[in-house]
Structure 1
Amino acid sequence: MMSLLRKIRTTGRVAEPAPPRPSPEAPPAARALCGSAQVRHVDAGSCNGCEIEIGNAFGPVYDAERYGARLVASPRHADVLLVTGPVTRNMAEPLRRTVAATPEPRLVVAVGDCALNCGEFAGGYGVQGAVAEVVLVDVDVPGCPPEPERIVATLRTVTGR
């Protein structure tokens, strides 16, 4: 027991330094969010790869909440919508309704290559199109799936932290 305590005392605290503040300019609607963002995730027809990375971004390792982004359960409480996957024919109208239910000022973030250009699902019979073809998109997060660091960095540009 004493050797363990001695090792802890000699090693000290081991942690990575905080990442630098994001340099890209925030979208105009992000200025009204005042440093925090309530985030609602919408799956428009993805393979769930982006959902796993979003879960990791809000998990204990990357912890997007420390930068002012918090997941909420309703679009009526949200400031930011994270939309993943290509928009399927059955999800086009619910996505439009979700965006309409989100109060102004709102931001729509397309997460992943499928949300940006339909990715592997391009040309599929059940695919309506990319997210930008159905609703207005403010910010893009490329990648298949995007790394949690990139998702957190995008949320940091939105919150300004």
Structure 2
Amino acid sequence: MSLKSYSRARAVHVMLVYTGGCNGCDIEIVNCILSPKYDAEQYKVFLTWNPREADVLVVTGPVTKHTEQPLREIYKAIPEPKAVVAAGACALMGGVYKNIHGDIPSEEIAGPVENIIPVDAKVPGCSVRPEDVLSGVVAALPKLLDAK
């Protein structure tokens, strides 16, 4: 067993991708992994910026036209098994960036995350609460554990 597969089997590596919006959800997500209050690292949940190391992709913000293709490429670069968590009202339905009629304007926003890549868990909120983010990651874990 290689060192890479050994460590991957014993820890969960979370990659955070920002696809537009206000960054409120990103602050809360990093808070739940790195801060001493939640300290997810003690449970072997680590933040990574390398898609080849990631197990769980957490996406925040409405997917803009500018970030649609990079998001698809990041998703493809994550090895199987992988899970995706859409975090925040913007990632789920466009949030404050949708227009008055409830549609997401196609000239600026490509759509919610589930229209771009498959989503395994959804975390509502504006901005999301750290406890809910951890619950979303835990909800996505069965997909990873069943495949290992």
Instruction: Report the alpha carbon displacement of residue 42 of structure 1 after superposing the two structures with TM.
Output: 0.4
Return the alpha-carbon distance in structure 2 between the equivalents of residues 56 and 131 of structure 1: 22
Q: Are positions 1:49 and 2:13 aligned together?
A: no
Matched letter for residue 55 of structure 1: V
Structure 1 gaps, min length 5: 1-32
1:126 to 105, 108, 114: 108
Q: Are positions 1:92 and 2:68 aligned together?
A: yes
Q: Are positions 1:104 and 2:80 aligned together?
A: yes
Q: Return 76-85 or 35-44, whichever deviates more.
A: 35-44
- The superposition leaves residues 42-61 of structure 1 with CA deviations (integer Å, 9 ceiling, x where unpaired) of 00112100011012111111
Instruction: Report the alpha carbon displacement of residue 67 of structure 1 after superposing the two structures with TM.
Output: 2.5
Matched letter for residue 101 of structure 1: A
Aligned residue pairs: how many? Answer: 128
Return the alpha-carbon distance in structure 1 between the equivalents of residues 46 and 109 of structure 2: 30
Structure 2 gaps, min length 5: 1-7, 99-103, 143-148
2:134 maps to what in 1? 152
- The superposition leaves residues 100-120 of structure 1 with CA deviations (integer Å, 9 ceiling, x where unpaired) of 000000001101010000111
Matched letter for residue 27 of structure 2: I
* Secondary structure of 2:84 counterpart: strand
Instruction: Report the alpha carbon displacement of residue 34 of structure 1 after superposing the two structures with TM.
Output: 5.1
2:15 maps to what in 1? 40
- TM normalised by structure 2 equals 0.80
Instruction: Report the alpha carbon displacement of residue 66 of structure 1 after superposing the two structures with TM.
Output: 2.1
Large movers: runs of 4+ above 4 Å: none
Matched letter for residue 114 of structure 1: C
Instruction: Report the alpha carbon displacement of residue 152 of structure 1 after superposing the two structures with TM.
Output: 1.7
Return the alpha-carbon distance in structure 2 between the equivalents of residues 73 and 128 of structure 1: 23
What are the within-5 Å matches in structure 2 for residues 56-67 of structure 1?
56-58=31-33, 59-67=35-43
Matched letter for residue 92 of structure 2: L
C-alpha contact 1:40 1:71 (8 A) present in aligned 2: yes
1:141 maps to what in 2? 123
